[in-house]
Amino acid sequence: MSLMEAARAASAPAAPAPGPQRVALALGLVGSLGEELLAALVGTDNYRLVQVAVKSPIASATSKFRPWVIGSSVITADDAFVCVADDTQRSPHSPIQPFDSDKLLEAARIARAAGARRLVVVAPLSALLQMNAATHAVSNEQELALVEMHFATLLIVRPTREADAPAGSWLQRNVESLGRAVLDIMLPAQVQPLRPKTAALAILTAAARTPPGVHVIGARELVIIVAESMPGLLPKRARLR
């Protein structure tokens, strides 16, 4: 799929939004982006129930948020959302079950066993990698395996990953911060990281608009969605003072 085709698929209302009787399955929604996406799923009227894979049984403050220990019971879902997490996004205190890149296919199998026909995979990339045209295509063996699972709709979303907070001495932190500021100025605005909440809302909008088939979108397509539906949330360009 070309960049322009992906942009049209993500920004055009080619398919109706999920109805309010649908059920979502949330897998690996950890880290700042995953947590915001989970909040968006629970907050939207598109779903009556959000089943969330957790490490161990926990209580829920709302009937719409349904914790689920994998394998503890049989569940069904219409749509599944998977966030691919790395080690920096894992918290030992979070009850949410993480899924790293090596567990992506496991998450997809769980979604398929639940009957999900729409699979949304969120796999963040660095801003530099967003410049690569390959980010808008199925690009590795795991993603090819996802295609072969024949979900009615497979949407792979590659938002720009937030930069890790600098560590080390005061001088090292300032040097790294300056380097990131210079990089922010040099890179196009379309590949700058969105705020986690903004990215989550854009991903949810893209999922609702995407028609059946296999689709891959990156940071540029998410920015198009934000510009169309919530322009006030577009990121500001960094400046050196």
Q: Which domain holds residue 177?
A: 3-227
pLDDT at 20 > cutoff 80: no
In a domain, 126, yes or no: yes
Model confidence pTM above 0.85 = no
Q: How far apart are CA 121 and CA 124, in angstroms?
A: 10
In a domain, 241, yes or no: no
> What is the CATH classification number for the domain harbouring 179?
3.40.50.720
Q: Per residue in 173-215, pLDDT tens? A: 443 444 444 445 455 666 778 899 999 999 999 999 999 999 9
Q: Per residue in 63-117, pLDDT tens? A: 899 999 999 999 999 999 999 987 555 667 789 999 999 999 999 999 999 999 9
In a domain, 233, yes or no: no
In a domain, 237, yes or no: no
In a domain, 239, yes or no: no
In a domain, 236, yes or no: no
Interval 19-42 mean pLDDT: 92
In a domain, 187, yes or no: yes
In a domain, 113, yes or no: yes
Domain count, the chain: 1
State the pLDDT confidence band at 171, using cuts at 50, 70 and 90: very low
